[in-house]
Amino acid sequence: MSTPTTTAEPAAVPSATGTTPLLALTAISKRFGGVQALTDVSLNVAPGTVHGLIGPNGAGKTTLFDVISGITSASDGTVRFGGADVTSVSSTGRARLGMRRTFQRAQVFSWLSVEDNVLTALEWRGGGGGVLADLIAAPTRRALERGRRDRVAEVLAWCGLVEHRSTAAGSLPLGAQRLVELARAVVDRPRLLLLDEPTSGLDAAESTRFAELITSLRGEGCAVVLVEHDAGFVMRMCDRIAVLDLGSVLAEGTPAEIQADQAVRDAYLG
Ligand SMILES: Nc1ncnc2c1ncn2[C@@H]1O[C@H](COP(=O)(O)OP(=O)(O)OP(=O)(O)O)[C@@H](O)[C@H]1O
Ligand SMILES: [Mg+2]
């Protein structure tokens, strides 16, 4: 496991809008053997904004999330997060820096209760100091544990999972499992949240609920990058949208600019 590298890095270059990007991708390419999944992708995400990532099946959206979150390494290019070059930082290191994600197929610990799913997502910072250190630290540790339980309860209430808190996550319907995955992702208060098709398989009411939660996260200053096939949802939710096609950025702009872009209409929106 590599250590997060946040030192000795020059400050991020401000974007054209004057805001320093929270996430800055520069010339990212990714090859899987003979498959060129991403080519020369550059993208900036400003703090506290919702950024859509759309494009046809196989365009490279999930691969880009894998590169951003450090699950896979880019063949070329750099990933900067919070002003630091994190290109060679592990996915765990990037999570510690405040980056979280959810998956196209919701991932939860199916045999654990909802509450324990969320609790295990909170990083444990105690321990490791030997028996004497443990004894001295016990009161602090109990206070920390109470704090952790309080934070989990707060997040479960926020996403409407209180009634399911003792239920095994795997026995819940998909909509609730997606909420459990979201709760796990936000419990440590990330600065950047990557959501891969969060409303896939949800009904209209569940999608609306998800939209409210994303809006509330933005209100708390969390930036969100959203992969989504529901064009209406993306247009309503996003401050900016990037369109990927065959692994390259076809267009990037506000929802109105994307809707008016002829190349995007031809390739994706129809
Ligand atoms: N591990 C892998 N090995 C080989 N090829 C891969 C791998 N992962 C992705 N690909 C290929 O990379 C390309 C982009 O796939 P990716 O899953 O990123 O697309 P996507 O935009 O997320 O598609 P979808 O909308 O269907 O989820 C596809 O051609 C895919 O087959
Ligand atoms: Mg995908």
Predicted confidence (pLDDT) per residue in 209-227, tens digit = 999 999 999 999 999 999 9
Tell me the backbone φ, ψ of residue 8, rounded to 5 degrees: 55, 30
Sheet holding 223-227, edge to edge: 99-101, 192-196, 223-227, 50-54, 240-245, 248-253
Indicate if ligand 1 lies below 6 Å from the C-beta of 38: no
The answer to whether the CB of 269 is under 6 A from ligand 1 is no
Does residue 141 surpass a pLDDT of 70?
yes
Judged by its nearest atom, the ligand closest to the C-alpha of residue 56 is: 1
The three-state secondary structure class of 213 is helix
Cα 159 to Cα 22, 28, 165, 212, 223: the distances in Å are 25, 34, 11, 10, 18
CA–CA separation, 15 vs 33, rounded Å?
34
In short, whether 136's Cβ falls inside 6 Å of ligand 1 is no
What percent of the chain lies above the pLDDT cut of 90? 73
* Ligand 1 nearest atom to the CA of residue 59, by list position: 21
Distance 69 CA to ligand 2 centre (A): 14
Q: Is 105 in the pocket of ligand 1 (CB under 6 A)?
A: no
pTM: 0.88
What domains does the chain contain, in order, with CATH numbers?
18-98+191-201+221-270 (3.40.50.300), 110-189 (no CATH)
Average pLDDT of the chain, as a whole number? 88
Ligand nearest to the CA of 72: 1
